[in-house]
Structure formats: C-alpha cells, structure tokens
Amino acid sequence: MAADDDAYLKKLCDRQPWSPHHALWQIAYANYRNHKGNPWHVARTNFIPDVSGQQTDLYGSRSSSQWIVKIRHMQLQSCPMCGSSVTGSVDHYLPKEDFPEFSVMAANLVPACSHCNSGVKGRTFRGATPNERFLHPYFDALAGEPLWLTRVIAPYQAAQFEPTPIPGLSANNRELVQFHLRHVLGPQFHRNAANLWATYPQHLRDEVEGTGPVSSARACKEIARSLRRSISTSGENSWSASFFRGLLENQDARKYLAHAARPLKATPLAL
C-alpha cells in the first residue's frame, strides 16, 4: 500500500499545479505511515503557497475513481470502524478538512458504513489524552481481537444498552477502545441492540419448538452458539457479536430471556 500511495501521489504531482509540492507531500505521507496515522504524532503540513482547499477538493473530484471505488467496495464481514453489518462508504481516518494532504491517501481512507461517514464521528479525530483516539483498521493490530461487549441494563422490560470494552484490557487500551466506541456508535447501534433483545426470546422458543420451558442453561448454550455464528459471519467486533458476548457475561439478562421464551398460552376461540 505504501508503494501504491507513493506511485499515485507521483502521478498526481506530474501535473500542474501539484508538481512543486511533491517532495513535501511525500514527506507528509512517510510521516503518516511512520506514526501509523496517530493524530497525536501526525502534524498538519503547511504548503507554500497554501493549497489546502484544493487538496481537500481532490477527494470530491476523484471519489468515483477506481483508486477510491476499490476501497469503498472492499469485501468485508462488517464495518471496520463501528462493526455494523453494512459497508459501501469511505471514511477519512484523519478528516480531510483538518488534514487535506491526506484526502486521497489510501492509508487514510477506510471502508466504512454510512453511519461512520456522516454520523457520530464527524470531524472528531482525537480526545483529551494521548490514549483517546480512534483505532486504525490498517495499523492497529489490536483491532483484530475481540474488544467490546454490549451490556444490557435493567429494567429488562425496557432495557438500555451500553457498549463497553471487554474485561482484561490494559488501562491504555481500555481508554483507547472506550473513546472509539463513544464516538462511532450512535442511534442505529442502539436500535439494532433493542431489536436483537426483543426478538431473541422467539428465537429461543423456536429452538425448543415451543414444546416446553427454556432453562437458563439451555439459553446460555444457545447464546454461545449465536456468538460463534456472529463471529464467523460478521467478525469479532460486529454489533451482533458484541451483543451476544455481553449476554454471556450477564446471568440476570439470560434468566430474563429464558423466562420470556416460555411457551405462549393458546387463547381459546370464542364461539
């Protein structure tokens, strides 16, 4: 990818008005890669004369090029930024409005869903401390591991859902993941969790074919199977995987679901 980025930049700078900026621009690209896109270490490059507006506009004029279309339509299990089940958009890891020199740098273009591209994240790229930044799907190996779960908060009849880092992460990684979750998960995530919660008792009823009660142990076994299925189809950090991972950590929520999955009593027909 580094060689491709450099080759694309050279091709761009072979044309006016970009040729005078090639050397400095290439240094900016190298600096981005050396610091793995970390916004606490990557400083904006000042070009003379100022061409930031034209650099920002490059993305709009080239968004339908094969260079960017390949990223937009990359085949993935789920959005690598938030874990939703859809992709088809492109998100700038460092916003092009703040770092215009990276507006068409492939290493800064992440395949994402429309929620990430236009939702909670916006132009945010770091927080108040060096551990508060987004996970970079290309450079952070941590992103390939299970990182979070969804807590179901009582009362369960009107449950609320809280995304949270999994237990066992280091303090630094926990802060990193917490910041990431807080700034990529919006209303669509909560609606998805509410739908999974509302429909799962029916799933449990179907598993016993409506013939008897669902024990807490049986519910736990089925939730574990749902987690494995979610990981294999959508990935370790998908919305559904985080939901079922959270249920396995919550005995009271499992008991509630088992109780809610009890067979429905038939209502006699009036004559």
Pairing of strands 160-165, 148-153: antiparallel
Comparing 104-108, 130-134, 145-149, 261-265, which segment has the lowest mean pLDDT?
Answer: 261-265
Alpha-carbon gap, residue 31 to 41, rounded angstroms:
9
The pTM assigned to this predicted structure is 0.91
Q: Average of pLDDT values for 103-125?
A: 86
Contact 251, 259 (CB under 8 A): no
- pLDDT tens, residue by residue, 231-249: 999 999 999 999 999 999 9
In the predicted structure, residue 116 carries a pLDDT above the cut 80: no
**Torsions phi, psi of 91, nearest 5?**
-115, 140
Alpha-carbon distance of 246 to 4, in angstroms, equals: 40
User: Which segment of 31-40, 80-89, 151-160 scores lowest on mean pLDDT?
Assistant: 80-89
Give the Å distances, CA to CA, from 219 to 48, 68, 198, 232, 255: 64, 44, 15, 20, 8
Using CB atoms within 10 Å of the CB of residue 53, give its burial: 0 to 12 exposed, 13 to 18 middle, 19+ buried: exposed
Q: pLDDT category, 176, cuts 50, 70, 90?
A: very high
Strand partners, 161: 152
CA separation for the pair 209, 37 (Å, rounded): 51
Mean local confidence (pLDDT), 196-219:
86
* Count of C-beta atoms within a 10 Å radius of residue 125: 19
Residue 183 tokens read as 């700034």
